[in-house]
Amino acid sequence: QEVLVESGGGLAQPEKSLTLSCAASGFTFNTYVMHWVRQTADKGLEWVAVISFDSSNTHYADSVRGRFTISRDNSKNTLFLQMDGLRPDDTAVYFCARASRIAVAGVFYWNLDVWGKGTTVAVSS
Amino acid sequence: DIQMTQSPSSLSASIGDRVTITCRASQSINRYLNWFQQRPGKAPKLLIYAASTLEGGAPSRFSGSGFGTEFTLTINSLQPEDFATYYCQQSYTTPYTFGRGTNLEIK
């Protein structure tokens, strides 16, 4: 069974740091692209960052670029999100998600097919 | 960034009804469109990818269509477990933007 479990959420003060982890099991972690997505009642679902299977490529949302760092340890089947310079509007439930690339009629499409249950981050003084 | 606009934002329907949710992209995204279902307190669950391909395990009463900028999710013969929030998401390019969601409620 393919499972993702996030941890590391909690309460942080503005400008402080927090690191989220996402432990993967039930699939070959080092062959999958992985994402972080966050959700608030105000903004809905917001894509945060993506990392390639071998960590050679990363991309970030404008709202977190320069403050957040996505990384992975394939030897430990774990994805990370280092969050520095936290702001109140970073308050959200953070999900990790697995990306799968599927061929349909000869064209490859990406989806997010396995999600963790999420971990809550609250940023407040 | 590609903007994804979903409509309606909320919808009331009865068991057995057929409902349609629309998602529009601010530029062409070919068929790089996914649909998710989310129940309260749970993670989003993939229903449809590549605009119209049903994810394994998703009930056949769910179907998707569209290409370019206009997409629809149709649910035939609504069941009690279908009352949830539905999101579209483009996977054409980063940032992978989501629609604001459609809350499907029981009438």
């308050």: which residue's tokens? A91
Chain A within 8 Å of B83 (Cβ-Cβ)?
no
pLDDT for the residue B61: 97
Q: Which pLDDT does position A99 carry in this prediction?
A: 97
Chain B residues within an 8 Å CB radius of A116: 43
Name the one residue in this structure whose structure tokens are 């029981």: B106
- Please write the tens of the pLDDT for every residue from A19-78: 999 999 999 999 999 999 999 988 899 999 999 999 999 999 999 999 999 999 999 999
> What local confidence, expressed as pLDDT, does residue A28 receive?
97
Q: What residues in B contact A35, CB-CB < 8 Å?
A: 96
Phi-psi region of B100 (alpha: psi -120 to 50; beta: other; left: phi over 0): alpha
Specify the pLDDT at position A88. Answer: 97
pLDDT at A86: 98
Separation of alpha carbons B24 and B8, rounded Å: 11
Give how far A11 is from chain B: nearest CA, Å. Answer: 19
Check residue B78 and give its pLDDT.
Answer: 96
pLDDT at A23: 98
Query: What 8-state DSSP symbol labels residue B26?
Result: S
Per-residue pLDDT of chain B (107 residues; tens, 9 = 90+): 999 999 999 999 999 999 999 999 999 999 999 999 999 999 999 999 999 999 999 999 999 999 999 999 999 999 999 999 999 999 999 999 999 999 999 98
